[in-house]
Amino acid sequence: MKQKNWKELPHAGTILEAGNANDYKTGSWRSLKPRWIEENCIQCLFCWIYCPDSAVLVKDEKMIGYDYDHCKGCGVCAMECPGKKGNKAIVMEEEGK
Amino acid sequence: MGVTTTKTVAVTGNQAVAEALRQLNPDVMPAYPITPSTGIMESFTSFVSNGKVDTETILVESEHSAMSACIGASAAGGRVATATSAQGLALMWEMLHIASGYRLPILMALVNRALSAPLNIHGDHSDGMGMRDCGWIQLFSENAQEAYDNTIMAYRIAEHKDVRLPIAVNMDGFIISHSIESMQFIPDAEVKKFVGDYIAIDPLLDLDNPKSIGALVLPDYYMEHKRAQHEAMVNAKKVIQDVSAEFAKLFGRKYDLFESYRLEDAEVVLVALNSAAGTIKDEVDRYREKGVKAGLLKPRVFRPFPYEEIGAALRNAKAVCVMDRADSYGGFGPMFMEIAPAVFPYRQGPSLFNKIYGLGGRDLMPLDVDKVIDETIEVAKTGKVKAVKEYITVRN
């Protein structure tokens, strides 16, 4: 994409297109990746509530996985996950492992 | 269109600016009153209490918050003003850059006062000069009349589509803010007509068109934003001249980027801002009577600084003394640092030197001005400057 010059910028740098943060792939920042272990998941949706980047995908009120384009790998979901009988349903793993 | 005449009134500088603000009737006015600008808010809040304005005043917990509230209200789409001095302005410093970076046409009445330490409440220009690089348009006013007129013109300049920058109107603390002078107010209806309605650009409260302001900008775009901001400031120069010309046509008082007082054929020139210019004009007259070709250049617009115009006005002078009521320790006075590049293109330009005077509200008396004029005459004759920077009105 050709970058705009200083005469072409929107006034005061205001972003006029609502929700365009979706176009910015924060997933590339990630060094740790959450892995969802479905058999340990009790569908409490704590991960969905706590995710700061709306990267937990939910369908029909059930956790179904991650939007890895936007998950920054902060690990909050894994920290909050209560798991089942002491076994976490979300674990953080090294990216590229 | 006839020139408006109104009856002459006797008011303080603060009352004059408060009256201008009443007539401008801003939507929001956040402030944390501080000496010597307190009188502006004192008068203005009584206008609010008595239903004379529609303004919502916000009494905040600090000046940082005052400017933050100004930014929020202006971004929301309102016409916004505030008033402050010295430490108050210093505490706003971070937010001053944000106001200009967001291109919000906020109006500030800045009653100039010395910065602490040592703690001092009296008038000098260290506060105003400290905001030089904050991206605000800066107008300076010799007396209550000029402070009033500059305030009336401020929104027209700041809100112009080619500008859209915040603006500060300066006047000297106590010397002007607390002294009663005779001056003239413009009738309310004519101010209203002159200023017009405010049309915000991309206001946040336009809920049908949601938007974000203040997003992170990384090295790939930051510099383009700053370049655009400089252009807005460059554009402001012509807008100030146009608005001033319209003001003169309607109300009879003429303003330009700077005032030239007996400057046309002057060989010996003093440069000074604000109230000291009044004293200097008297002394210029006295020297003219003695046959000395003395003159004064009083800048009105400090940002954007009119380098070409001031350079052209000073190029034929033999000696110019730039008088600064603020200092840059280890450097020259801030006005000197503007005048030097203004005359730089003229290889045969005047000899230039710098006097620091009146810090912390110390008086500049007619005899002090005479000494400066005498030295400038000597420099004009010999072409030799004894000391480029020197302090006057100080005990040695």
User: Is residue A6 situated within a structural domain?
Assistant: no
pLDDT in the model for residue B4: 59
| B228 with A7: Cβ contact below 8 A | yes
Chain B residues with beta carbon closer than 8 angstroms to that of A5: 224
Q: Is B243 among the domain residues?
A: yes
B263 and B235 belong to one structural domain: no
The CATH number of whichever domain residue B231 belongs to comes to 3.40.50.970
What integer pLDDT is reported at residue B1 of this predicted model?
45
Q: Which residues contact A55 (CB under 8 A, 6 or more apart)?
A: A27, A66, A67, A68, A70, A71, A72
Q: What is the pLDDT along chain B (396 residues), one digit of tens a residue?
A: 455 557 799 999 999 999 999 999 999 999 999 999 999 999 999 999 999 999 999 999 999 999 999 999 999 999 999 999 999 999 999 999 999 999 999 999 999 999 999 999 999 999 999 999 999 999 999 999 999 999 999 999 999 999 999 999 999 999 999 999 999 999 999 999 999 999 999 999 999 999 999 988 999 999 999 999 999 999 999 999 999 999 999 999 999 999 999 999 999 999 999 999 999 999 999 999 999 999 999 999 999 999 999 999 999 999 999 999 999 999 999 999 999 999 999 888 899 999 999 999 999 999 999 999 999 999 999 999 999 999 999 999
- B231 at A interface, C-beta within 8 A: yes
Q: Does residue B178 sit in the same domain as residue B316?
A: no
Give yes or no for B221 touching A (CB within 8 A). Answer: yes
- Residues 14-43 of chain A whose Cβ lies under 8 A from any Cβ of chain B: 14-18
- Considering the domain architecture, whether residues B294 and B173 belong to the same structural domain is answered as no
A contacts of B103 (beta carbons < 8 Å): 11-12
Task: Residue B210: give the domain boundaries.
Answer: 8-251
Does residue A8 sit within a domain? no
- Assigned domain for A20 exists: no
Number of domains in chain A: 1
Based on the fold, state whether residues B150 and B262 are members of the same structural domain. Answer: no
Let me know: does B115 contact B90? Beta carbons within 8 Å. Answer: yes
- Other CB atoms within a 10 A radius of the CB of residue A49 amount to 11
Question: Hey, are the CB atoms on A3 and B221 less than 8 Å from each other?
Answer: yes
Whether B143 is in a domain gets the answer yes
CB contact under 8 A, A13 and B211: no
φ/ψ of B136, rounded to 5, equals -100, 145
Query: Complex ipTM, two decimals?
Result: 0.86
- Same domain? For B85 and B184 the reply is yes
B350 and B233 in a common domain? no
**Which of A5, A9, A12 has the CB atom closest to B102's CB atom?**
A12
Most A CBs within 10 Å, among B97, B100, B212, B234, to test the A interface: B212
B394–chain A Cβ distance below 8 A for any pair: no
Check whether residue B235 and residue B265 sit in a common domain.
Answer: no
Once rounded to an integer, what is the mean pLDDT over residues A46-66?
96
CATH number at residue A89: 3.30.70.20
What CATH number is associated with residue B364? 3.40.50.920
* Same structural domain, B317 and B209: no
Does A78 map to a domain?
yes
Q: Is residue B368 one of the residues assigned to a domain?
A: yes
Is position A70 within any domain? yes
- The total of structural domains in chain B comes to 2
Taking the CA atoms of A61, A63, A69 and A70 in sequence, report the sign of the dihedral they define.
positive
Looking at the domain assignment, is residue A67 inside a domain? yes
- Give first-to-last CA distance, chain B, whole Å: 56
Mutate to test the interface with B, among A2, A5, A6 (most CBs of B within 10 A): A6
Chain A residues close to B201, C-beta within 8 Å: 11-12
Q: Give Cα separations from B259 to B93, B146, B234 (angstroms).
A: 29, 12, 20
Specify whether the CB–CB gap between B137 and B157 falls below 8 A. Answer: yes
- A84 pLDDT above the threshold of 80: yes
pLDDT in the model for residue B5 = 59
Is A18 close to B220, i.e. CB distance below 8 A?
A: no
B132 and B18 share a domain?
yes
Among A4, A6, A15, select the one facing B211 at the smallest CB separation: A15
- A22: which chain B residues are within 8 Å (Cβ-Cβ)? none
Quickly count: other Cβ atoms within 10 Å of residue B248's Cβ: 15
Quick one: closest CA in A to B211, which residue? A16
Q: Is residue A37 one of the residues assigned to a domain? A: yes
Q: For chains A and B, what is the number of CB pairs under 8 angstroms? A: 49
Contact A18 B212 (CB under 8 A): yes
What's the domain range around A78? 25-94
Q: Is A6–B101 a contact, with Cβ atoms under 8 angstroms apart?
A: no
Chain B, nearest residue to A19 by Cα: B211
Q: B225 and B269: one domain?
A: no
| DSSP strand pairing (B389-391 vs B351-356) | parallel
B290 vs A: CB within 8 A:
no
Distance between CA atoms of residues B280 and B286, nearest Å:
10
Q: CB–CB of A11 and B164 under 8 A?
A: yes
> Do B90 and B225 reside in the same domain of the chain?
yes
* Cis status, amide bond into B73, omega within 30 of 0: no
| pLDDT reading at A1 higher than 90 | no
Neighbours of B215 (CB within 10 A): 11
Do B142 and B54 sit in the same domain of this protein? yes
- Please give the angle made by the CA atoms of B338, B339 and B343, to the nearest 5 degrees: 125
Residue A24 predicted with pLDDT over 90: no
Q: Which of B232, B251, B270 is the last residue of a domain?
A: B251
Does residue B373 lie within any of the structural domains? yes
- Tell me whether residue A3 is in a domain: no
**Contact state of B228 with A9 under an 8 Å Cβ cutoff:** yes
CB contact under 8 A, B231 and A6: yes
